[in-house]
Amino acid sequence: MRTPCILKRGIRLHTPRARSVTAHPAPRVMNAIDRIGSAFLRKVIVLMKQQGLSQTAVAKRMNVSRPYVTKVLHGDVNISFRTAAKFAHALQMDFTPELHPSQDHCALSTNLPEPTRL
């Protein structure tokens, strides 16, 4: 007799008392950080295609493994500014994180009263 299992995020967990259930992960809501990371990775992929670079070539230029580059490009791992800068250097680009006023914040800040001193 087979051991019942629960499917959690695509991984089978065998449990002695569980019924066979397929659990789908909750839909992930894309927040601002996800959008920034996603836009950066899309740009990296476009630049790689334009320059005719494979993941292996980029990995060699970054001095990292090809599987790591694959994980990053698929969004499976979070990257630091250092890793983003390595990607930029490998693609002969500059990486400069910038801050810009939010569109919503600009509209709201014009309607705010001046702060008062106590």
The residue ranges of every structural domain in the chain are 32-90
At residue 34, the pLDDT reads 78
Neighbours of 71 (CB within 10 A): 13
At residue 18, the pLDDT reads 46
- Which one-letter DSSP state was computed for residue 31? -
Q: How far apart are CA 89 and CA 84, in angstroms?
A: 9
**CA 68 to each of CA 57, 78, 80, 94: distance values in angstroms, whole numbers, following the listed order:** 13, 11, 13, 21
Torsions phi, psi of 80, nearest 5?
Answer: -90, 170
Q: Which residues of the chain have pLDDT under 70?
A: 1-30, 104-116, 118
Prediction pTM value: 0.59
At residue 64, the pLDDT reads 95
At residue 116, the pLDDT reads 67
Beta strands (DSSP E) in 1-118 are 5-8, 11-14, 21-23
For the segment(s) 32-90, the CATH number from 1.10.40.30, 1.10.260.40, 3.40.50.720, 1.10.3720.10 is 1.10.260.40
At residue 91, the pLDDT reads 96
* Dihedral sign from CA coordinates of 83, 87, 89, 94: negative
* SS3 state at 24: coil
